[in-house]
Chains A and B, each alone.
Chain A
Amino acid sequence: MTVTIVLLVLAFFLVVGLPVALAMAVSGATGLYMLGGMQFLTGILRTSPLSTANSYEIITIPMFILMAEFVIISGVANDLFRSASIWVGRLRGGLAMATALAGAGFGAISGSSTAAAATLASTSMPAMLREGYDPKLAGGVVAISGTLAMLIPPSIALILYGIIADVSIGDLLIGGVIPGIIVTLAIILTVAVLVRIEPESAPAGRAYTMREKFASLAHVGPMLILLIAVSGSIYSGIATPTEAAGMGAFVAMAIAMWERKLTLAGLWQALRSTAQTSCMILFIILGAHVFGYFLTLSRVTNDLSMWVGGLDMSPTMIMIIILIGYIILGFFMDQVAILILTVPVMLPIVIQLGYDPVWFGVIVVVTAEVGMVTPPMGMNIFVVARYTRRPLGELFRGVMPHVWAHLIVIGLMLAFPALILWLPSTM
């Protein structure tokens, strides 16, 4: 009864638009009061707030966000597409493929899917339309390529999952590398298939000499080296994710200064924006802590685990149902909110089914990417539509082939967990 009341309170406040952190904290506190009384509640409120921020490891989140802010200030993000298009632009549909590569490159800069979609929409979309690309094909590839930011290190979603699930952030970030490459290849392959079916939808571009190709790397080169160094240092164990994040932010700032793009106002804007975004994430974690204590006290997670354990279904079938649930949640909810709300409940079940928590974190993020481009809450589609002034219907239709390709990739990861787990196992 208490659990039902608390879940209804949570759902009500989420639906009317109360910030997710406050909705979770208020409903969780209500439940704690009902189950344990005022003394229990005040005990939680005495320790939880400080323990949310009182950690060295958590600086990974603000430092990677700060790194992205400095990289964006340096203007390199805009050069990524230009460079990628010079390398693969000769192929039919080459600019669309370059968009996927630029999306992967931007993903290595920023953990934000919508920021990646916005950047790609303002750079690659006009270039593709100018070259005579079908707007449906161009818009679809821009929207889906933005989602790579959630997967390719440094992924804020994976770091957040690591903190909630108490799983090694290094393993998660490295675990996202191969799936990130596979999703990038899936986007490129989908474009290749689409232009083969409809050759008029994408013209072939001009060829470039090797000299021109290497010259195009002049601007993006230092930043690409930095990004590879960040992931490489985590993989090799030279640096922890926190150290890599701090060093990455500092070097990105130095590059922005070297490029003479960093003003005092820009620096302050980057710091304030990073403080606000980090605070937003930490506040949700605080709300989740309070709600998590309620879930533990109510034993709802244990009951759910026992119920799932008693089901006459194979673990694979249960996992497919769970992933379909995540796709449906992605239609309506923000990915951060999905992770915070569901991981504390789902993880014990997933572990009980025999799945690895690192594998689950990566596959949930890949699954959540689908929700970013599907109606009615496909945030990336809305962002691309706003930047490009293209109709939503056209963009949703354009992204559908990529959604199918994405589902095949999820199926592959479900069938072959080593695609995610092999690289972290070699660390």
Chain B
Amino acid sequence: MLNSTTARRESGLSAGIARAETLLVFLSGISLAVIMVVVVLDVTMRYAVSRPLGWSYDLIGSYLMVCVFFFALSDTLHHHGHIAIDIFANSFPRRFIHVSLAVGYGLSTVLLAMIAWQAWIRTSGAWNANNLISATVPWPTWPSYFMVLVGAALVTLRCGLRAVTHAASFVTGRELADLPPPPITASNEPEQGL
């Protein structure tokens, strides 16, 4: 299970982003529950009355799974749920780690912003052209792109905030950045009776 606590108390921009993350991850969780119910309904209808739900694949693939992934993206980053190889990081000087992560998160911010921008172009294009999914039920395509846009935009903000706080930690020498809890390793595990 992922760690869901952050060591530092939220304030200002981070708290605002966290509120948006909580709302989005709630929708992500609801989507998961809906996926489960739709699959059960689909299988039941297929085998019980030979009438599967014709729209289940498109609803799940085009909307619900996109919601599960993109709406949980920023909350998972906030709670250090995205796996990182942290075994080596503690053996480097703290300021080196901070400047390296500032660069890493900075570049990631640019990349995620590009993804959000591309999603905006696709959302507006699909909205204006009233593009529809080529499936049994012709649902609009823009909600999928819109969810990518919202999720990518929020994680861009979270990532940018990480980059700034790591840069500030590097400059000031103080621990201002939100770092993941220390890994469970031989060095911090209590040894008894060796």
Mark A residues whose CB is within 8 Å of B. Answer: 12-23, 25-26, 29-30, 41-42, 45-46, 49-50, 52-56, 58-59, 62-63, 66, 115, 239, 242-243, 245-247, 249-250, 253, 268, 271-280, 282-284, 332-334, 336-337, 375-377, 379, 382-383, 385-386, 389-394
Contacts and interface: CB of A to CB of B under 8 A. Distances in A.
Contacts of B69: 52-53, 278-279, 282-283
A59 B65 contact: yes
Contacts of B83: 19-20, 280, 284, 334, 336-337
B79 to A, nearest CB: 7
12 contacts: A16-B89, A17-B101, A18-B105, A45-B115, A46-B118, A271-B30, A275-B68, A275-B71, A279-B73, A376-B185, A383-B184, A392-B191
Contacts of A45: 111, 114-115, 118
A279 B36 contact: no
B57 to A, nearest CB: 5
B151 to A, nearest CB: 9
For chain A, what secondary structure do more than half of its interface residues adopt (helix, strand, loop), or is it mixed?
A: helix
Contacts of A16: 88-89, 92, 96-97, 100-101, 104
A151 to B, nearest CB: 20
A382 B185 contact: yes
Interface string B164-189: 00000000000000001000111001
Contacts of B73: 279, 283
A275 B64 CA distance: 12
Interface string B40-74: 10110000000000000100111001101111110
Interface of B: 1-2, 4, 25, 28-30, 32-33, 35-40, 42-43, 57, 60-62, 65-66, 68-73, 75-77, 79, 81-89, 92, 96-97, 100-101, 104-105, 107-108, 111, 114-115, 118-119, 121-122, 144-145, 148, 152, 159, 180, 184-186, 189-194
Given A16-B89, A17-B86, A273-B2, A49 B36 contact: no
Contacts of B36: 63, 66, 246, 249-250, 253
Nearest to A389: B192
Contacts of A377: 87, 185
Nearest to B61: A56
B194 A393 contact: yes
Contact of B191 (A14, A277, A279, A391): A391
Nearest to B92: A16
Contacts, number: 220
Contacts of B152: 49
A275 B87 contact: no
B149 to A, nearest CB: 10
B85 A17 contact: yes
Contacts of B29: 268, 271-272, 274-275
A49 B40 contact: no
A273 B1 contact: yes
Nearest to A391: B194
Given A45-B114, A63-B35, A282-B69, 15 more contacts: A15-B85, A19-B77, A20-B82, A26-B107, A45-B115, A53-B66, A246-B43, A275-B28, A275-B76, A279-B69, A280-B82, A283-B69, A333-B85, A334-B85, A391-B191
Given A20-B83, A376-B186, A280 B32 contact: no
Given A16-B101, A46-B118, A246-B35, A55 B65 contact: yes
Contacts of B148: 49-50
Contacts of A389: 190, 192
Contacts of B30: 271
B101 A283 contact: no
Given A45-B114, A115-B1, A246-B43, A17 B84 contact: yes
Contacts of B32: 62, 66, 271, 274-275, 278
B184 A58 contact: no
A281 to B, nearest CB: 9
Contact of B2 (A20, A277, A386, A392): A277
A46 B121 contact: yes
Given A26-B108, A283-B76, A337-B83, A382 B118 contact: no
A91 to B, nearest CB: 29
B118 A247 contact: no
